[in-house]
Amino acid sequence: MNPRQLCIACLQRTPPATFEAAMWISVEHDANFDLERTREQLSVLERNVSAALPMLPSSELAQPLLRQLATYGFQLDDAAQPKPQAALLHKIIERRRGQPLGLALIALEIARRLEIPLEGVNFPGHFLLRVPGADHTLDPCGGRRLYPKDCRELLLRQFGPDMPLRAEHMVTATPVAMLQRLSRNLRHLHQINDDLIASLKDANRVMELGQANTSDYLARASLYQNLECPQAERFDLEYALLLSDDPVQRVRLTQRLGQLPGDRVVH
């Protein structure tokens, strides 16, 4: 099987092998990626974290785990011009810098190995972690506790005052949701760094992993437009039109479709 197929196969296991699936995404993007070396690096990190954790019940070890990772240098990559290395797991382990989701995936894998209860939260703009049943979430970038007030402030900084905190923002992230989010992050990072072919790989993976939304089809259509593939662009625009509930967006999509070669438009 190729890396894409191996990634999807990992998610079909019981239970899903989320971290390994994310590693196969690294293989897909980096021909020089040494999978065994990265596995060994993670095992060494696991042993070091385990030795440094306090003697507490496992349900109380999630925050100490995250703080210990921060002590070892795992921090937010806040570069002004972010690179794909901020999302690729093997690069995060190597550099100890990454996006919140990448840091969270590493923490989740170590927690799984050490039998520490921890789950992902698909919070908009900044992936979070949570001990199941807790009244707060945890920032994967250092382990800070976030209560509803903190989450509202996080939304305010990310999206402005027009996005209120909703229950759906605090939903537990499934393995598929995490890998789709990782693929969307990489799609964006590769595109802004002018690697359109790599970005297209990520866009296709988003579609293969699970249900895609209007934005996913529009993102891939823009890639096809830049790659001068009008037929593929048309396909994605038509799908976006079918999925869209926004009247203004539907009008714009219809106009854009009318400007492409051919005259087939979905109504």
Q: What is the span of the domain harbouring residue 194?
A: 175-258
Please check whether residue 80 lies inside any domain of the structure: yes
pLDDT of 167: 92
Tell me how long the chain is.
267
H/E element, 138: strand 137-138
Task: Return mean pLDDT, the chain.
Answer: 94
pLDDT of 80: 85
Q: Which of 147, 170, 193 marks a domain boundary? A: 170
Half-sphere exposure of residue 54: CA atoms within 13 angstroms, side-chain side: 10
Q: Which of 170, 199, 214 marks a domain boundary? A: 170
- Residue 243 pLDDT > 80: yes
- Residue 232 pLDDT > 60: yes
Nearest of 25, 133, 213 to residue 17 by alpha carbon: 25
The answer to whether residues 21 and 109 belong to one domain is yes
- Residue 177 pLDDT > 80: yes
Region at 124 (left for phi over 0; alpha for psi -120 to 50; beta for the rest): beta
CA distance 195 to 189: 9
The answer to whether residues 40 and 132 belong to one domain is yes
- Residue 265 pLDDT > 60: no
CA distance 243 to 230: 20
Rounded mean pLDDT of 176-205? 98
23, β-bridge pairs: none
pLDDT of 263: 52
pLDDT of 267: 42
Domain count, the chain: 2
Q: Which of 143, 170, 197 marks a domain boundary? A: 170
Q: How confident is the model at residue 41 (pLDDT cuts 50, 70, 90)?
A: very high
List C-alpha distances in Å: 112 to 16, 18, 26: 12, 11, 21
pLDDT of 262: 65
Which two tokens mark 110?
């170590």
pLDDT digits (tens, 9 = 90+) for 144-170: 999 999 999 999 998 998 889 999 999
CA distance 105 to 120: 8
Please check whether residue 234 lies inside any domain of the structure: yes
In this prediction, what percent of the chain has a pLDDT beyond 90? 92
The secondary structure of residue 174, as a DSSP letter, is P
CA distance 141 to 59: 19
Please check whether residue 265 lies inside any domain of the structure: no
pLDDT digits (tens, 9 = 90+) for 56-110: 999 999 999 999 999 999 999 988 889 999 999 999 999 999 999 999 999 999 9
- Residue 266 pLDDT > 50: no
The answer to whether residues 106 and 231 belong to one domain is no
The answer to whether residues 153 and 196 belong to one domain is no
